[in-house]
């Protein structure tokens, strides 16, 4: 099997052997398997042309904007009966979409603060963290990038921009609004780490909290006299 000639249409889904509705995790798995198979240094199955085709397919399908353009070109998702309006569900989603975008910004901001040397998150990681369908996530990321609040790096991963940080700080979403959009499994690790802290560290933290509480109680007692 050989790759398409230069300038000829390439069906990226066919190259990776996946369905047009495949999620980012499926795309990643297919790419990793085929890239290893056709890698030029693989003496058994090397195929430089197919390796290039597989890389092109992955670069396109792993980027939401490029994938959307390709899907329109290929005709993926076109309805034979014509487009339809979502109905009442559309109005119910209006408020949720804004909060979902804020939740994604919070995740990207948190990543920037905790991992400044590697501030980007891939689509796969965002899918693991954010409570959203592939379509909802793609729509939210399109908005954030169009507004300049988030940007893609050279590997198509997402990171928050300075404008995004300023926007989030000025709007300051409420935790009770944002947290329903964060999957519970994405915050368990942090809780586990806290519980696994050395006993001495936990005891010191408790002493500090007790000290603050005692100071506050004394101040209140003087005020009431």
User: H or E segment at 114?
Assistant: helix 88-114
Q: Does the pLDDT of residue 15 top 70, yes or no?
A: yes
Find, among 25, 63, 71, 69, the residue nearest to 158 by Cα: 63
Once rounded to an integer, what is the mean pLDDT over residues 149-159? 89
For residue range 21-66, what is the model confidence (pLDDT) as tens digits?
A: 889 889 999 999 999 999 989 888 999 999 999 999 999 999 998 9
Per-chain mean pLDDT for the chain: 82
Q: Which residue has the higher pLDDT, 157 or 154?
A: 157
Cα gap 217→141, rounded to integer Å? 48
Element holding 12 (H helix, E strand): helix 12-16
Domain coordinates of the chain in residue numbers? 12-74, 88-182
pLDDT of residue 207: 62
Give the C-alpha separation, 144 to 121, whole Å: 14
Q: What is the pLDDT of residues 104-131, one digit of tens each?
A: 999 999 999 999 999 999 888 998 999 9
φ, ψ of residue 45 in degrees (nearest 5): -130, 20
159 DSSP 8-state letter: E
* In the predicted structure, residue 137 carries a pLDDT above the cut 80: yes
Q: How many other CB atoms are there within 10 angstroms of residue 110's CB atom?
A: 13
Is the pTM above the cut of 0.75? Answer: no
Report the alpha-carbon distance of residue 7 to residue 10 in Å, rounded.
9
The second-level CATH assignment, the architecture, of 12-74 is Orthogonal Bundle (1.10)
Residue 194 confidence (pLDDT) above 70: no
pLDDT at position 224: 53
Q: Which fold has domain 88-182?
A: Arc Repressor Mutant, subunit A (1.10.10)
Q: How many degrees, rounded to 5, is the angle at CA 26 between CA 21 and CA 27?
A: 85
């Amino acid at each position: 099997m050989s790759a398409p000639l230069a300038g000829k249409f390439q069906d990226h889904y066919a190259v990776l052997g996946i369905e047009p509705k495949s999620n980012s995790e499926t795309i990643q798995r297919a790419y990793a398997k085929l890239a290893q198979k056709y890698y030029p240094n693989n003496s058994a199955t090397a195929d430089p042309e197919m390796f290039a085709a597989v890389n092109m397919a992955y670069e396109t399908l792993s980027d939401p904007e490029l994938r959307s353009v390709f899907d329109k070109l290929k005709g993926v998702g076109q309805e034979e009966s014509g487009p339809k309006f979502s109905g009442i569900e559309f109005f119910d989603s209006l408020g949720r979409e804004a909060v979902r975008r804020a939740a994604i910004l919070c995740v990207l901001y948190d990543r920037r603060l905790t991992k400044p040397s590697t501030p980007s998150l891939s689509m796969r990681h965002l899918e693991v963290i954010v409570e959203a369908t592939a379509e909802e996530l793609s729509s939210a990321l399109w908005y954030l990038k169009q507004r300049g609040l988030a940007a893609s790096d050279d590997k198509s991963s997402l990171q928050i921009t300075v404008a995004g940080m300023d926007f989030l700080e000025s709007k300051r979403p409420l935790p009770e609004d944002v947290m329903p959009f964060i999957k519970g499994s994405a915050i368990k690790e942090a809780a586990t780490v806290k519980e696994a802290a050395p006993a001495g560290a936990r005891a010191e933290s408790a002493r500090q909290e007790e000290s603050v509480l005692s100071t506050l109680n004394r101040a209140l007692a003087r005020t009431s006299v």
